[in-house]
């Protein structure tokens, strides 16, 4: 799953309307006693690293805290509870939390509760207490439902609390989710991963695959639509490996269609798809239902069969290209994006060139490329990793240069066309807006309209760069 969106123009601010912090949550918040170790009003600071699944988990964690009477603050200094929701996918990502925790070294404030959540918490467990003794909460993503109880114990004076089970399905339904993005609602439909790619920590940090019942998914989508959301994004590390545990046994493609049929829903996205489970019925569903957005994120990781085998990706280059041909055969043009790892142990120059040739062959709409990073517990950790860092950097730069050319050329062909955009950003500069097309492309555009946030606008593309499109509102 891509860790960040390509948001092209930094000057654009995404206006965040607190869709779910009003009414019900506020009422319950005041009914509760905001409690802290020193009896002051409870406040929390929450910083999130990693993928959209983590972003969404943080929305649930914030919901749990707000319903207990805590207020969210923007600086750790103002908070009685400081939480980091962490990512462990690459060494650098995992290091971030330790540098954050290091800021409290030497001056730990006894009255503050400092907690590590998410994938580093699950992976490192109680070792975190050894590295940073001022931490008092370590909790993986499968245990967030127990957070109120854990906080209660900490508030009552317990020194250390952990939540490290990782095979429950408790994370799917939380009473309150405080969604940050007022325009696109994230919804996890499958947790964990059973694929066991040789380089990847996710099966260890998020546990085995557990799918959420289709009835529960559809219930939440109906609630979201009633709250005014028109775009939902279904999440899972292997979202298309979804296996409905209810008697309805809905296939993933059937669930997509059922979500799209919920009144008020105009756009349905899903990420990340695993190539092995990407089947023809998903494309058929996209053909049948235009509300299914014209975008598939299909990580390939490498264009070389030898490397794919060493990575245990369970498909060959040829099989992957068959899936691409299937998507290209759809009635609409579907945007395809991917993830690639360069410098997997033993990757030769020839094997790397095969990845470049695959990029040229598929002509992706966006690429998220990473240098291989050895991770704890993973099978590839035992492999000799002789590729020097500079060589990995060179391969990464070559890959990105090729992709930039492809994206620029693809974007140029779109100049003159009109796309429907869900407007989600407003620039500080007058009359400038931004949003995503169904293909997930970012459009920055001008309009004389008074307020477009949250509406769908037809935008004519007037210019294009490698990362985004420029346009004007067609009134």
**Burial class (CB within 10 angstroms; exposed 0-12, middle 13-18, buried 19+) of 299:** buried
Phi and psi dihedrals of 367, rounded to 5? -135, 135
Build a one-symbol-per-residue string for 54-93: x at contacts with ligand F3S by CB under 6 A, - elsewhere.
Answer: x--------------------------------xxx----
Build a one-symbol-per-residue string for 225-264: x at contacts with ligand SF4 by CB under 6 A, - elsewhere.
Answer: ------------xx--------------------------
- Is 315 a binding residue for ligand SAH by CB under 6 A? The answer is no
Query: Can you tell me whether residue 392 is helix, strand or coil?
Result: helix
Task: Kindly state the smallest distance separating residue 375's Cβ from ligand F3S, in Å.
Answer: 9
Closer residue to ligand SF4 in complex, CB, 276/432: 276
- Is 90 a binding residue for ligand SAH by CB under 6 A? The answer is yes
Residue from the set 193, 250, 285, 452 that interacts with ligand SF4 by CB under 6 A = 193
Q: How far apart are alpha carbons 163 and 154 in whole angstroms?
A: 13
Q: Evaluate whether 52 touches 89 at the Cβ level (below 8 Å).
A: no
Nearest to 307 by CA among 273, 272, 355: 355
Paired with 213 in beta bridges are none
- Is 317 a binding residue for ligand SF4 by CB under 6 A? The answer is no
Nearest to 357 by CA among 275, 278, 274, 300: 300
Task: Kindly state the smallest distance separating residue 416's Cβ from ligand SAH, in Å.
Answer: 34
Q: From ligand SF4, ligand SAH, ligand F3S, none, which one binds at residue 291 (CB under 5 to 8 Å depending on kind)?
A: none
Task: Kindly state the smallest distance separating residue 144's Cβ from ligand SAH, in Å.
Answer: 20
- Is 205 a binding residue for ligand SF4 by CB under 6 A? The answer is no
- Is 202 a binding residue for ligand F3S by CB under 6 A? The answer is yes
- CA dihedral over 89, 267, 142, 137, signed as positive or negative: positive
Span from 113-121, 280-288, 369-377, 389-397 in contact with ligand SAH (CB under 6 A): 369-377
Q: What is the DSSP letter of 168?
A: -
**Burial class (CB within 10 angstroms; exposed 0-12, middle 13-18, buried 19+) of 389:** exposed
Q: Evaluate whether 457 touches 423 at the Cβ level (below 8 Å).
A: yes
Footprint of ligand SF4 (CB under 6 A): 193, 195-197, 200, 202-203, 237-238, 274
Footprint of ligand SAH (CB under 6 A): 1, 89-90, 199-200, 202, 237-238, 272, 274, 299, 301, 339, 341, 370, 372-373, 375
């Amino acid at each position: 799953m891509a860790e960040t969106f390509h948001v092209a123009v930094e000057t654009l601010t995404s206006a965040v309307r607190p869709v779910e912090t009003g009414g019900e949550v506020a009422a319950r918040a005041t009914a509760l006693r905001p409690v802290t170790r020193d009896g002051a009003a409870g406040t929390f600071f929450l910083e999130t690293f990693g993928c959209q699944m983590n972003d969404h988990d943080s929305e649930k964690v914030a919901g749990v805290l707000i319903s207990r009477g805590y207020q969210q603050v923007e600086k750790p200094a103002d908070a009685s509870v400081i939480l980091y929701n962490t990512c462990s996918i690459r060494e650098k990502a995992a290091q971030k939390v330790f540098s954050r925790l290091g800021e409290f070294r030497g001056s730990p404030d006894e009255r503050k509760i400092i907690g590590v959540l998410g994938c580093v918490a699950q992976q490192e467990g109680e070792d975190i207490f050894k590295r940073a003794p001022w931490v008092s909460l370590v909790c993986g993503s499968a245990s967030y439902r127990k957070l109120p109880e854990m906080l209660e114990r900490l508030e009552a004076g317990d020194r250390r609390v952990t939540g490290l089970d990782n095979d429950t399905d408790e994370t799917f339904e939380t009473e309150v989710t405080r969604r940050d993005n007022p325009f696109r609602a994230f919804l996890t439909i499958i947790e964990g991963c059973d694929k066991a790619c040789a380089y990847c920590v996710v099966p260890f940090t998020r546990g085995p695959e557990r799918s959420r019942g289709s009835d529960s998914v559809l219930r939440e989508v109906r609630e979201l639509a009633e709250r005014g959301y028109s775009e939902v994004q279904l999440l899972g590390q292997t979202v298309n490996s979804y296996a409905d545990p209810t008697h309805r046994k809905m296939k993933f493609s059937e669930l997509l269609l059922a979500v799209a049929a919920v009144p008020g829903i105009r756009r349905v996205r899903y990420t990340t798809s695993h190539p092995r489970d990407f089947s023809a019925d998903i494309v058929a569903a996209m053909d049948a239902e235009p509300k299914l957005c014209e975008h598939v994120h299909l990580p390939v990781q490498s264009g070389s069969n030898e490397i794919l085998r060493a990575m245990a990706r369970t498909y060959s280059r040829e099989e992957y290209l068959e899936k691409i041909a299937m998507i290209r055969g759809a009635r609409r043009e579907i945007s395809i994006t991917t993830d690639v790892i360069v410098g997997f142990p033993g990757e030769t120059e020839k094997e790397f060139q095969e990845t470049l040739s695959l990029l040229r062959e598929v002509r992706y709409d966006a690429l998220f490329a990473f240098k291989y990073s050895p991770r704890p517990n993973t099978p590839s950790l035992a492999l000799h990793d002789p590729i020097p860092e500079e060589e990995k950097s060179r391969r990464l730069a070559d890959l990105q240069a090729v992709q930039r050319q492809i994206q620029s050329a693809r974007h140029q062909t779109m100049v003159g066309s009109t796309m429907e955009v869900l407007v989600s950003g407003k620039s500080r500069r007058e009359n400038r807006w931004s949003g995503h097309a169904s293909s997930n492309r970012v459009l920055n555009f001008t309009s004389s309209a008074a307020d477009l946030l949250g509406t769908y606008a037809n935008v004519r593309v007037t210019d294009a760069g490698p990362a985004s499109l420029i346009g004007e509102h067609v009134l």
